[in-house]
Amino acid sequence: MNELSIVVPCVSTTEILPKFLDELASFLMANPSDTDCIVVANDDPETCAKLVQHVEEQYPWLQFTMLRRVGSARRYGALARFGIAHSHSRFVALVSPYGEDDLSVLPKLLAQARAGAQVVQATRYANAEDARALPRKFRWYQAIYRAGVRLLLGYEVTDSTYGFKCFDRAFMQALGLTQTGYSICPEITLKGLLVGGKVAYVPSRSQANRANQDFSLLREGPGYAWLLLRGAGHRMGISWF
């Protein structure tokens, strides 16, 4: 069993994956750890086969698993859950292949998990400069969601919607993950809080995401709202998990 699985849900284009894996391999070589990488993509057998060949030829030391979801395209949460289910590591980190996550923060996330945090959330709002790097409309969306979490759940959560996080795999799987969209990101953090787990935050700066055009507030918004309602009900005694 490894200590950490880096699970990489690839929702849209897979063309970015070789570059991402080059960067990840370079990072892991400079920061050796007991880590494996699990990439989960929608059905694209030719590209996936080429990716496996690329890793085997360039990075034979990298513990790498390529998973394909056959059939209709799955959304972010479905791909993330599939990757988590295939992990045997103590901790899991969700990382985007599209370049917005700062890989240099990974050791800090892992250190907090080792210290006992069940969920470690990278946050782009600890420093004003980091927050300004985000598009204005996303800052508004996230400000509204933070207000909803504060009002309905009573928690001050700086960045629960950000997918870049590390968590105790067995702990989270015991609570159960159900969301199929990007709402799995706040689901992890909010369930960790509601069960009384330790949730830690690590400052991180997000880069602009140009490769992944999958996110749609119209499609993802209901899932985010449902989490707030379920969380509020859980606080009142209507069990969610």
CB-based contact 81:187 (threshold 8 Å): no
Q: Give the pLDDT confidence score for residue 15 in this predicted structure.
A: 85
Each residue's pLDDT tens digit, 119-156: 999 999 888 888 887 888 888 888 999 999 999 999 99
| pTM of the predicted model as reported, rounded to 2 decimal places | 0.93
Mean pLDDT value of segment 208-237: 83
Which residues are CB-contacts of 123 (< 8 A; sequence separation ≥ 6)? 158, 159, 162, 201, 202, 203, 204
Judge contact between 38 and 83, C-beta under 8 A: yes
pLDDT value of position 135: 80
Q: What is the mean predicted confidence (pLDDT) over 172-177?
A: 97
% pLDDT > 70, the chain: 97
**What local confidence, expressed as pLDDT, does residue 1 receive?**
79
Averaged confidence pLDDT in the chain: 91
Instruction: Please report where in the chains the tokens 């901790």 appear, as a residue.
Output: 91
Q: 180-216, pLDDT tens digit by residue?
A: 999 999 999 999 999 999 999 999 987 765 545 667 7
Region class of 81: left (phi > 0), else alpha (psi between -120 and 50), else beta: alpha
The Cα-based distances of 156 to 44, 217, 233, 237 in angstroms read 41, 22, 18, 21
| Residue 208: per-residue pLDDT | 62
Binning pLDDT at 50, 70 and 90, where does residue 7 land? very high
Handedness of CA 2, 101, 39, 94 (dihedral sign): positive
Question: What number does CATH give the domain 4-235?
Answer: 3.90.550.10
Question: In this predicted model, what pLDDT tens digit does every residue of 90-118 receive, in sequence order?
Answer: 999 999 999 889 999 999 999 999 999 99
- pLDDT given for residue 108 in this prediction: 97
pLDDT at 210: 52
Query: What is the pLDDT averaged over residues 65-91?
Result: 93
Of the candidates 18, 10, 57, 60, the one whose C-alpha atom is nearest the C-alpha of residue 38 is: 10
Query: Quick one: 203 exposed, middle or buried, by C-beta within 10 A (0-12, 13-18, 19+)?
Result: middle
For 216, how many CA atoms within 13 A lie in the half-sphere containing its CB?
A: 6
Give the per-residue pLDDT at 47: 82
